[in-house]
Amino acid sequence: MRHTPGPWKVDSQSKYVCTEAGETIAVCQAPWHGGATGGREEGEREALANAHLIATAPELVAALADLVSALEGQAPGNATLAEALDKTRAALSKAMDGEVG
């Protein structure tokens, strides 16, 4: 299964993540406990930050896929790069429900 195509945007008032056509992708609500550090205002900021993170997901997936393709042949002999590419491929696979590319 593929995700809803991007780009996605955030309505900063409602904290809805939507397509350009207005289809709702996600709703980020302030945690009842007020966020990681407590307090309702902090919780609202956390919810908005979460919405922005979710909204960038399609762009992040595309950018990581491009990066993997660009670096694919450069990993032999470079264990650090090979490990980073493996982690990136795994994250892409998870994001794409087992599909990469």
Residues 18 and 49 in one domain: yes
Longest dimension (CA), the chain: 51
- Whole-angstrom distance, CA of residue 2 vs CA of residue 98: 10
Q: Residue 36 has what pLDDT?
A: 59
82 falls within a domain? yes
pTM: 0.75
Residues 45 and 76 in one domain: no
- Please, which pLDDT band fits residue 35 given cuts at 50, 70 and 90? low
Whole-angstrom Cα Rg for the chain? 17
Query: 48 lies in which domain range?
Result: 8-55
Residues 30 and 12 in one domain: yes
Q: Residue 38 has what pLDDT?
A: 66
Q: Residue 8 has what pLDDT?
A: 94
Residues 22 and 35 in one domain: yes
- Please, which pLDDT band fits residue 87 given cuts at 50, 70 and 90? very high
Residues 43 and 63 in one domain: no
Q: What is the mean pLDDT of residues 58-76?
A: 89
Residues 62 and 89 in one domain: yes
83 falls within a domain? yes
Q: What is the mean pLDDT of residues 44-58?
A: 91
Q: Residue 63 has what pLDDT?
A: 93
* Number of residues assigned to the chain: 101
